Structure formats: C-alpha cells, structure tokens
Structure 1
Amino acid sequence: MSARRRTVTLLRIASAGLAPLAVAAYAAAPAVAHGSMTDPVSRVAACYAEGPESPRSGACKAAVAASGAQAFYDWNAVNIANAAGNHRSLIPNGQLCSAGNDKYQGLDLARADWPASPMKAGAHTFRYKGTAPHRGSFELYVTKDGYDPAKPLAWSDLEPAPFAKVTDPGMRNGDYVFSGTVPNKSGRHLIYSIWQRSDSPEAFYTCSDVVFGKDNGGSAPKPSGKPSSKPSAKPSDAATPSEAPTEAPSAPTDQQIADGSGKSSVEHNGHGDNDPKTNGNAAAAAAPVSSIPAQAPAPQGGNLAETGGSSATPAIAIGGAGVLATGAAVLFALARRRAATGRHGR
C-alpha cells in the first residue's frame, strides 16, 4: 500500500473511531425546557415558587412528597415530545396535569386545596412564561359545572371546546401574553392549557386552579360519602386530607427562576438559533385573541430554542469537531512519518 493510501485509510479510521465520542457528547446536552402558565398560576409553577425543598401549602407538600423536589426544579418541562395534536389519545384520564409523565405525578393529586387564583368571567389577559420560545398555538379549557377537584381530572371534566385559542402570541418580559373571554362559572374550577408547537410535534401542558367568587371547595362529597347540604371550604369537607388555601398562588419571579436554574436538569434558555421559521415571537405585544397575527415577526436579540438542542449544543458540537480534528492530525502525522521512513529505507 502506498504512503498516500495508508494516510487516507488512517484518517478514515480516525473519523470512524472518534465520531461516536462527539455524538455521545452531543446527546449528553441537557433537555430544553419551555415554560408554564403564570396567569393563572399553574400547579407546578406555584409549587416551584413556594420552594421545592420546603413548600408551604398542603397540596404542594403532598405533590413534592409524591414526585420529589427535582420535578419542581424542572417546572417548565411538563411535555410530550411527539404529541402532534394527539393529546386525548396520549394522556390517560387522571393524568392530565402530569401529561402522563410519572416524573410529575404529584400534579395529578385529586385535592380540593390546591392554591387557586381568583378568576372572573369576561375578558382576561393570560400569561405563559416562555423559557424557550417557539411558534405554536395555545388552547385553554375550563372545567364543566359540577367539577369535583377531589376526584382525578378526566378529559370529560373539561368543557368540550377551548374558551381561548391563539396562534403565535406576542411576548412581554419573557411571557407570552394573550387575551381570552372566560365563561361564567362559580366556585372552584381548573383551567387546562395545551401549547402545541407548530415547528415540532412537541406539546406542553398545565393545570391552573382557579376560584370564581367564593371558594366552595368544589362539589366534593364529605368523607362519609353523604352529599354535602351546602358548599364548604372547610378541610373536613374535602374527600382527601387538605388545608384550605389561605392565599392565592404566586408565579416564580425572575430571581427565583435564576436561583433554581442550577438545580434544574433541563436547560432554560434554548440555544439561540434566531431562526424566524422555527422560533417564537419575543416582541412585546398583548393583543386580543382574535387579532393575533398568524405569522409573528422574529424576536430581536433573544435566545430561542428548537427541538432537540440547548444553549450548550454549539459548544458541544465545536468540542466534538475539535476532538476529531486533533485525532486526525495525530494519525496524519504518524502516517507521514511512516511513509517517509519507508521511502528512506528503500
């Protein structure tokens, strides 16, 4: 074999041998997280704001006990990677709040004491913290009259049609902001959100507990099984151990998000490709649902995300390429040395 052919062969071997290292490093990049509802505050966001290590409310304490603190440090990643709009067929009844993900099973606890945001019928401005913005659509559903929070949430508990639906809403201070008309309800209810990306089959889900007027604890029966003669917010009237909420939930602040990001197992900021074809709109805009443009302009100067990567991706890719280049250079030098030795020995 000629020196040239030996060199080419060795280079091919180097590429084949070192490429898996670069691929493995790429695969080790943290998953990309995307966000959660903050107005009204979702269960997972509320418990994260309380503190995953020492939550205050009885419901969040129980949720952390069921799921572990890590699930709440990963508060912005309740998703299904390949949903593609098939939400009802992929998520079983009783597991809507966790999106069928065991990691978040604490969010599915059937309790009448989840911290609940005050809500009124009529126009409302909704906010959804987008830690990695994308193009896509939001749908909001509210529970039917007679909803019982002390029973596992089923798809049949939701009104059949979303009361708000918007595509590519604008962003303000890191939140998607859009408007909708909330139907007339009374007592304790739940608002369920579905964020389906249009540039990927991935979708995200949230459960936000709300109270219209006075908190009646839902329509849960008493522990004895006998129907309650009148609604009551007392803990003893709930079908599961609970504590009456003393205050509305709070959304996590930017400082809380920053402080907890180091303990999160998911990446928060996307990987900044700035591609208007795949990413969301970070422009400051809050328009009514009916007037949101279908194609929002690309954000300026923000970090965005796309499927399957994170902000660490470019560095990992560069590192992998560097490994390949270094290995190839070493083998190339060895091959040239051997070729030179062969020529001199003739």
Structure 2
Amino acid sequence: MFIFIIDSILSFLLLMIPLLLAVAYLTLVERKVIASIQRRKGPNVVGFLGLLQPLADGLKLFIKETVLPSHANKFLFILAPVLTFFLSLLGWLVIPFFHNMVLVDLNIGIIYIFCISSLGVYGIVLAGWSSNSKYAFLGALRSSAQMISYEVSIGLIIISVILCSDSLNLTDIVNCQKDIWYIIPLFPSFVMFFISSLAETNRPPFDLPEAEAELVSGYNVEYSSMTFALFFIGEYANIILMSSLSVILFLGGWYSLFLDLGDYKIVGLFFFCLKLLFVLFLFIWVRAAFPRYRYDQLMRLGWKVFLPLSLSWVIFVSSIVKFFF
C-alpha cells in the first residue's frame, strides 16, 4: 500500500512538473509569436534570447505582497484561485500521451473531463463575488455565462466523435484513428470545437470576462502576487488541456498518417507534442489576428449558430454511422 502511494505521487509529479514548465514557457512563446506578427521584438533581455523571462516573471509574482481587499470575503477570496488551479491540474489525470502513458485510464474519460471543466466555473464565480468589486462581479457573470453556453456545443461536437469511435475512453478514441484522423471526415466538428475551445478558455477574440477597456481585468482585478499567478497558471493549463483534447479527438493523438510507430514511445510522444504545438500556435495566432467580439455577438454565436449546427451535425453523423457501418 505504501509503495503504491509513493508510486502514485511520483507519477503525479512526473506529469505536473513538465506541465508547469510548459505553462511558463507557453507565455514566452506567446509573447515571441505575437511580437513577430506585430513586427517588433519580444522578451530578449533576461537570459539568452529571453529564455529566463518566465522564471523572472514567476519570481516577481512570488515575492510580491498578497493584497487582500478590506471588504472582501477573505476565505472565499483565497479559495477561488486555489480551486481554479487545482481543477486545471485534475483534468490531466486521464490524458493519454502514448499507449499505457496515462495516470488513470478511465473508461469514461470524456465524461470525467466534462465534470472537471464544468466545476471550473465555480472558481471564477467565487472570485468575482468574494472580491466585492463591480468590475470583478461583472467579469465573473460574463465568464460563467460564456463557459456554460459553449460547453453545450462542445458536448454535442464530441458526441459525433464518440459515435465514430464507439467509446468514451480517450486511448480507444486515439486507437480508432490509426488509419485515418477524425479531422478528415469530421472537419466541421474540428472547426466548431476549436472556436468553442477559445470561448471556453476565455481566450481572444472571446476574452469578454477580462476586457481591459470595460472591466479593467475582469474577475481577477483585485488579485495580486501568487493569487493572481494561480489564476494565470490555471488559465494556461486549461489552454494546453483543450489543445491536447483537440489532438486526441481529431488529430490522431500519437499516430502518424505515414509511419507505423509500433512501440516507439519517443517517436509517438514527438508526434503528439508536434500536433499540440500546432494547436497552441493557432490559439496564439487568433489572439494576434482577430479583434474582440461584442458580448451579444458571443452569445448569438453560441446559441443561434453553434448549437443548431452541432445538433444537425450529430444527427447527420449518427445517420451515416447507423446505415453504413
């Protein structure tokens, strides 16, 4: 029993440490890519080519004073970022990187991901309400409405993948794409899933909860130092999680269309990371290229465009699967 607990802790750390490093350096990649698109220099002073900039930013946030607003509910104010950070890590327990390279290989992995992502709303709502600030409260309301709206369309989109793979297990879904990736027959689903992922993670052009011109910084406006850093890490960990889901559901996971990997774990991991970097680049490119939506446009897209489209697509895919397979 003791050995099992130690093994579980070590496995968890082996997953979490690279994830936290990935979050840190994703911020650097984002700043570099956006700087390149805008024809300017990104971070290039701290370390060679600015490679130590994320560590410097983390150290700065760590040594700053944590300011607690005098009229805030202090317990919930501190609980909110801790809850958001904790939930952003829990989703990674069922993400497979290769055959048998997953902490918990659940048969209902998709449903588990949905449960964890739906709980993420609570951290943001608690942050907005406990701050006792109008800006934070409005940001929290926007974020909760936005996340709930687009979770509906994401659920319907994933149903089409489940119909094709006949499984809720993420490893089985990847194995079903050994011969053909689902992005080819289900390309409309991939496009809708990617756009919904942007809205689900509050990323531009759907960053209405953090709109600087209207809400200063949204639900985290009263946060500083490590409490702000926990929100920041949680947001970027969710971005990488949604990108990993895109790779697993539509881009064949660790499989290549042209190579039979067999048991070559390193090559499989390389392909998985390469596809993950591609989807993350799309997240960054959209931020640099597109202006922010209005809130009514955001809600209209979710309820009047994506919901009927995704529902119609599920009916179409289920009909094809029923009559031809």
TM-score by length of 1: 0.24
Give the number of the structure whose residues are more often strand, by fraction: 1
**Structure showing greater relative contact order (alpha-carbon pairs closer than 8 Å, 6 or more residues apart):** 1
- The structure with more radius of gyration: 1
TM-score by length of 2: 0.25
